[in-house]
Structure formats: structure tokens, C-alpha cells
Structure 1
Amino acid sequence: MYASGIPVGMVVDNKGPRPGVFVGSILLGVGYFFQYRAFVAGPGSLGMPLLCIFSLLTGVGGCSAFLGAVKTAALNWPNHRGTATAFPLAAFGLSAFFFSLLSSLAFPDDTSELLLLLSILTFAMPVGGGIFLQVVPQTYGYRPVPESGMRADSDTSTTLKHFKSNESNQEAGTQADNLKDNSSEHSSLLSKSSTGSGPGDHPSHQGEEDRRRAEDEGSHRTDVRGLAMLKHARFYVLWSILGLLTGIGLMTINNIGNDVRAIWHHYDDSTTPKLIQERQLMHVEILSIMSFVGRLASGVGSDLIVHCFALSRYWVIVLSSFIFLLAQVCGATIENPHALGLVSGLTGLAYGFLFGSYPALVAESFGVHGMSQNWGFMTLAPVVAGNIFNLLYGQIYDRHSFKTENGEMDCKEGLQCYQAAYYVTLAAAVVGLVLSLGGVRWDWVSRRARGREKAVGTEA
């Protein structure tokens, strides 16, 4: 899913979001259906290479449908890009909880029916949504015409639309010059539009609107794609932060079951496998729900930070880093299994905060037109860091484990089974926090430099 982001992103950027969603739905349906058939037929019915191929299809399909949805949201709501992209991101994070809950209610303990459900719904839901998927053409900024209340394209100084047919080009040009002294307005699918500046308009509010309009137009003029990002130092900062923090999160997400088993075995050696399985499922649900909450909150919050307080979107990443740091402290110290929810809850929340705002941050840095393939480059970071931290956890856990009678590895040392892994991720979280604070500083310096350049240009 992560590794296919670059080629799939290029297709979405070049062919549009809707084809990406439809192709993704087909791959998801085919991949899960043949896994269902293999599960029903039993061992030997489908070779390991084919099983790997069908698993691959589900990953590529999920990536394709997801990028199509996120790209549409980013294009259609330019002023509220963080909020808009947070909704598909949040739904993506909640999907594990949704499908597991649905299957447990409809057919508990039946894996074959779950796979059949996945093959049907992961095909039908993107197809149903893709039918209504549309990128709405945007007009990035306009200025009011005091005499008639008409709008003029701010990027064209000599053309005024919707004027009466008997007006001459010379009169239009004169009115265009007069518009320079009027207040600017900004319009989007989520912001109110008006035809002129009223007596109640506050100067600071109008200045904020000008700043937002300039940022929005800048994100659409900027178009740095693919390998061209390698020339920009900002790419390496964003890639490193995403890699470190997602690696930390994925270590807990992928191994929370091992945490639960080790802690419960040490806390109460009479714990039944059924109870452990129930607790593992509970923590998966906590991770999914908190990730959903974090994605929505960070998307909306990052827009408020940018548009209401004129601060950097990097502050959301700082908050995510800090929550990750707290989660690692909990992971390295909690020995009571009843308190283990702090580890899964904080990890899910931090992971959600990270992913809920990151696509908007990438779009602001490199432009929205190549956003899908650029996001594909970014998602290579979790592939690298996630595997590093997962392998580290596995090696540490295995060193404290013993082989049971049935040949499986088990550890009953409680916190000692994996504590060292959380010490490493704690240090990584500190590095991530420092880098994200550096991003805030960098963004602040860049804004000041752009402000000085704009002031010099205005004076000239």
C-alpha cells in the first residue's frame, strides 16, 4: 500500500481521481475475493506466490482509491485543505474498526465470511462514492467591482467579465485600475462570498483574507513533482519527520497484540487465550478509534491554526510528536495490563494527528497538482522506518522468549519482553519533536522572507 504510492500517484495526477478510485475498487474486490476462495478451499488450493499477488492487489487498490479521494478533497476545498483531506484520511483510519465490528456482529469467529464481506464492500463502497466524485473548477481570488458588484479575475489586469456589452475595452481597463484601491475578497467552497467590503469589515480581518488568498494561489502556482523534490531541503525534513513518527506508531500498531500477551501472562498466569484475544481486539479498536479522532481533529485544527491564528501547520506535527513521546514513556513503564490502553490510545491519537495534517502540509510545500505522486514519495518513509522499528521490536521480544511445546515463541517476562524497544522509540520521538520544532522555525523564517520580498515588490 505504501510502496505503490509513487506509480499510483502519477496515474491519479495525470488521469484524474475518478479513474484511480474505480481501478482501486476493482483491485480490492479481486484481491479479497480470491483470498476468500483460497481460505474456503483450504491449504494447497492456492500457491504462496498467488496469495502474495492477491494480497498485493489489495494494498495497491487501497492506495489508489485513497489517493483519488484525498486529491479530490484537496482540489475542491483549497482554503480548508486540512479539514477536507482529514475526512477521507479519518475514514481510512476507522475502516479497520468498522469492518471488524461489522463482522463480529454479523458472523463472529468466521474468517471466511469476513473475507467475503471485504471483497464485496471494498469494491462497492469506492464504486458508489466514485460515481459522485468530481473536481469543481476553482477561481482563486477575485476583486469586487464597486459600481456593479461584479467580480473580476485578480490574475488578469486587462479583462473584466460580465460587463455590459456596450461598454468599451478602454472603459473596462479604467475600471480595472480603479479596483486596485478596493478591498480583496477570497472565495472557496467552504467560505462565504460577498460583493464588496462593508463598513463593518475589520482591517486585520481583510489582511488575513489577503494572506490566505496569496497562500492559496501560491499552492496552486507551485508545482514541484516527483524526483524534483529531491532538490529541496524541505522534502528531506518532511520525509524524515514522517518516517520517524510513523515508524514509532507502526511498531505499537503492529505489535500491540504481543504487548497484551506479554503483560497479561506476567500479570496473571491463569489468563485464558480467549481473554487475551478479547483484549487484543479491544486495543485494535482503541487504536482505530483514536486514530480517527486524531485525523479529524488535526485536519480541522491545522486549518484553524493557519487561517485564524496565522501560525504554521507544523505546530500540529509538534503536538503529534509530543503525544508520541508520552506514548513511548507509557510503553516503557506500564506493567499493569489494565493501564495498557494509554499506550494504544495515545499512539492512535498521535498517529491520527500526524496523518490528518500531513497531506495538506505536503500540498502547501510542493503544490497541489502533483500531490498524489508527492504523497507517494512521502509514504516510502513508513516503509523504511516501519520495518526498522518492527524488526527491532521482534529481535528484542525474541531474546526474552522461549519455545513452547507446540513450537511457538512465547514470553512471560512482562514489560521486560519489549521494554528496550520503547527506549529506542522514545529517543526517536525526541528527535522527531526536535525536527518538527525546526520545521516551525523554518516555516516562520520562510514566511518572513516572502513578506519582505512582497513588500519590496510593492514599493517598486
Structure 2
Amino acid sequence: MAPPNSAVPGLLSVPRLTTLLASLVVAVGSGTNYLTPFPAYSPQLAARLNINHTQLNVVGLAGNVGVYSSAPFWGRIVDSRGPRIPIFFGFIFLFFGYTGIRHFYNTGVDDGNTLSSLGLGLLIACSFMTGAGGNAAFTGAVNSTAKSFPDRARATTTGIVLSGFGLSAFFFSTLAHIFFPGDTSSFLLLLSLGTALTTFIGLFLVRSIPLSASEDDDHTIIPTVAAEAEATIFHHGDDIHTPLLDGDSAAPSSPLMEEYVSDARGIELSPPRSSPSASRSRSASHRRSISRSKQEALEGLNVYGRALWTSPDFWLLFANLSLLSGTGLMYINNVGSMSQALFAQGNPEYDEIKAAQFQATQVSTISIMNFAGRIVIGVISDILKNRFGFPRSYSLLLVSSLFFCSQILAAQITDVTNLWKASTLVGLSYGTIFGL
């Protein structure tokens, strides 16, 4: 039960904005594994450890598996215990995960040798930790933001937090380019300390702010006819009690009234005369009954447990997210190697510095467009729902179309100078699917 409106902070109050900004900070530190820093250092890591491209992809895939496989676990904890426990584990996993990867990079292997199976297994585990840790902190941040803002502003505010997740790669890559150009070890140190610091800040500032009763009503959809019937039946301003039925005669029932009034559950339509105090008592009792009815209607919209696994809508959304995000991840995890291969094609004088510049361009482009896509889709879905009354899921048509066009464009590129075009469209598409 939400506290009285006077005790609940306003929509743009300091507590709500603090949660929003702190969640954004946490999101910036949580998206390092999820998007493009891996292709920013993966070719250098492969060369340092003398591992092949397949092994490198397994290392990158471990981070993605950490993100996705841990999501239900962290979500369950956030729902039952709040955001602090996942954010704390995010702090631990991100710090030790990136510290471990940096240790392997600094140690390296001797020329002619390869990384041992045990070493490869530990490297994969470190990558998994960065993915699981980032998702833990991010889940706490997004969940707190969603619970702190009403439905009319939820997509926009969560879109802002999601945009920080997408901007993470650009943020850390830019800092590394400014302060540690070409130094992969320092870049990994920045990821280790930077992600730990952002999640440490969120540990103290991210929390759910309760909504007022009027904001809670945003979640409950009451048909207009039902609302009018409720107002007509229950909210008379006078004290006159005229019997609705004359004697024992029965008036013909209306299907419309049966549909919306049948939920009254024994409430008298023509109460007997009584004292004002009794009337107030019945009025208060009725308000509690209506509140319970609204709460029951709200809870009826929640789908979980067995009902979730048997819901066609769930599997449709699951399939959409899997296919579209998998397409984006395939491109993102390999864009560093793709840019280097395109740069080397027909180029007898391979310049590592120029190759790294093209590689960094793809990382920054994807990150910025991912950031933009998450905000844009949040605004679009809010407009579709609040102004036009369309479900947010209608935006999936736009998102899937963007993905389709991005792959058509990527298939046509044979020159590294044009690769940024595909990176732009993939980044935008990837941002919209997760923002939505």
C-alpha cells in the first residue's frame, strides 16, 4: 500500500532524480562487457596469448553467456530483496573479472607457446564474471528506475538508464584513448577500476521510490463505462434513498450492467437510512473494497510461474529478442577482427596504428548509436502508448526492420572506410531492441 500522497516524493523530486541519475551511472559501468570494449581489446589479447580466433570467440561468448544466463537469477533477487545485493555482486564480479583478464594479458605467453587449457578456462571464467557482474548491477538499476516512475514516464526514464548501458563502451574507450592511447593493459585497468567505482556509487544511491496512489492508478486500466457506472452507483452527493425496484417486480437486466456491476459483491445499491457515522463507515469500507478490486485487477496482469511458460506472448517476445539480439551480438563481437581483415585486404603495407584507428571507430560508432537507439525507442513507445493508445510491442516492427536493413548493408561492404555505415545501423538497431 503506497503511503499518502503528501508523504510520497513528486515525479521530479530529488529522491526520484537521484535514483535516476545513480542508475544511469551504474548502467554506464555495467555495459562494458555487453557491447563493444571486448572488440576494442580482443585482437590484442589474442595476439598476446597466442590464441586462435575460435578460442577468442569462446572468451567473448562467455561474457555474453554471463549476461544472459544470470538474468533470471538477478531478477529474482531484485524482486524479493531489492537492488543492493545484485549491485554488490556486480561490484565484486566486475572488479575481479577485469583484473583477471588484465593479469592474463600482462603475463602473456612465450613465443611459440600457446595458452594452457587451464589458463584458457580461467580466462573464460573471468569473461563470464564480467558479463554476470554487469548484468547484476544493471538489473538492480533498471528495476529501481521502473518502480520509481509511473507508466506515463517509465519508457522514457528506463530508456535513459538503458542508454547509459549502451554508452558505456564509448565512455571507457574515449577515456582510454585520451589518457592511455595504444596501451591495452591500462585500458583493462581502467575497466576494472571504473566499473567497480560506478557500481560502488550505486550501492548507496540506487533505491526504489514508492509511487503515490494516483500514480499507481496509471497501471490499472478501468473501462470508461465501468468508471461511469461506478460513479453513478457509489458516489451520490445527496442523502435521498429511493428504492430502485417497485415492490417485488424485477427490472430487465442489462448485459452492460451485468458485466461491470456484477463485481460489486454484495454492496447494497439502495442502503437503508442510517446515521451519518454509519454512512461514513460504509463509505470507507467501500473505498477499501474498490482498492482491493483495483489491486486484484493489477495483480491479474502479472504473468509468472507456469503461466509464463505457457504464454504465447512470452515465447514470441523471447524468440524476437533471441534472433535480433543474436544478430547484433554476432556483428559486435567480431567487428574488431572484421575491420582489421578489411584493412589488410589488398594492403601490402599493414599499419597497426591505422588498423587500430579503424577498429576504434567501429567501437565508438556502435556505442553512440546504441545509446541513441535506447533513448529514441523509449520516447517512441511512450508516444505510441500515451498519445495514440497503441501497445509498445508495435514498435517491434520498426526494430526488426532496422535489423534487417543493417544486415543487408553489412553484406555489401568490402572497404573498411565504409564499415562505419553498417556499424551505425547495427548499433541503432541493437539499442532499440533492448530499449524496447
Distance in 2 between the 1:267 and 1:42 partners? 30
Instruction: Report matched runs for 1:44-63 at 5 Å.
Output: 47-63=119-135
**Residue among 165, 171, 187 paired with 2:280:** 171
- Conserved? CA contact 1:32–1:58, under 8 Å: yes
**Residue among 98, 106, 113 paired with 2:186:** 113
Distance in 2 between the 1:49 and 1:322 partners? 38
1:337 aligned onto 2:409: no
- Alpha carbons of structure 1 residues 28 and 156: separation in structure 2 relative to 1, 3 Å: farther
Distance in 1 between the 2:106 and 2:345 partners? 37
**Aligned twin of 1:141:** 217
Instruction: Report matched runs for 1:70-81 at 5 Å.
Output: 70-79=142-151, 80-81=153-154
Distance in 2 between the 1:218 and 1:268 partners? 66
Instruction: Report matched runs for 1:304-453 at 5 Å.
Output: 304-357=383-436
- Conserved? CA contact 1:267–1:337, under 8 Å: no
Distance in 2 between the 1:258 and 1:219 partners? 49
Normalising by structure 2, what TM-score? 0.63
Residue identity matched to 2:120 = M
- Alpha carbons of structure 1 residues 226 and 352: separation in structure 2 relative to 1, 3 Å: farther
Normalising by structure 1, what TM-score? 0.60
Distance in 1 between the 2:199 and 2:159 partners? 17
Distance in 2 between the 1:281 and 1:134 partners? 35
- Alpha carbons of structure 1 residues 69 and 221: separation in structure 2 relative to 1, 3 Å: farther
1:101 aligned onto 2:167: no
- Conserved? CA contact 2:335–2:362, under 8 Å: yes
**Aligned twin of 1:196:** none
Task: Report the Cα offset of residue 125 of structure 1.
Answer: 0.8
Task: Report the Cα offset of residue 88 of structure 1.
Answer: 2.0
Distance in 1 between the 2:423 and 2:402 partners? 12
Distance in 1 between the 2:147 and 2:200 partners? 20
- Alpha carbons of structure 1 residues 218 and 241: separation in structure 2 relative to 1, 3 Å: farther
Q: Deviations over 1:73-124 (max 9, x none)?
A: 1111131221122122111111111111111111122222222222222111
Distance in 2 between the 1:171 and 1:262 partners? 79
Task: Report the Cα offset of residue 268 of structure 1.
Answer: 4.7
Task: Report the Cα offset of residue 141 of structure 1.
Answer: 2.4
Distance in 2 between the 1:93 and 1:85 partners? 12
Instruction: Report matched runs for 1:7-406 at 5 Å.
Output: 7-43=73-109, 47-79=119-151, 80-138=153-211, 139=213, 140-141=216-217, 168-171=277-280, 173-174=282-283, 221-226=300-305, 228-266=307-345, 268-357=347-436
Q: Deviations over 1:3-30 (max 9, x none)?
A: 1112222222221112211221122112
- Alpha carbons of structure 1 residues 37 and 302: separation in structure 2 relative to 1, 3 Å: same
Distance in 2 between the 1:334 and 1:37 partners? 37
Structure having the higher Rg: 2
Distance in 2 between the 1:156 and 1:127 partners? 50
Task: Report the Cα offset of residue 217 of structure 1.
Answer: 8.8
**Aligned twin of 1:370:** none
Residue identity matched to 1:97 = F
Distance in 2 between the 1:269 and 1:319 partners? 42
Q: Percent identity?
A: 35
Q: Deviations over 1:257-304 (max 9, x none)?
A: 343234334465545232222111101110010000000111122111
Distance in 1 between the 2:286 and 2:79 partners? 37
Q: Which runs of 4+ in 1 moved over 6 A?
A: 142-147, 155-158, 175-178
Matched length = 310
- Alpha carbons of structure 1 residues 289 and 105: separation in structure 2 relative to 1, 3 Å: same
Task: Report the Cα offset of residue 346 of structure 1.
Answer: 0.5
- Alpha carbons of structure 1 residues 290 and 301: separation in structure 2 relative to 1, 3 Å: same
Distance in 2 between the 1:125 and 1:317 partners? 32
Q: Deviations over 1:224-245 (max 9, x none)?
A: 2355411111111101111111
Task: Report the Cα offset of residue 312 of structure 1.
Answer: 1.9
Gaps of 5+ in 1: 148-154, 159-166, 179-213, 358-460
Residue identity matched to 1:345 = T
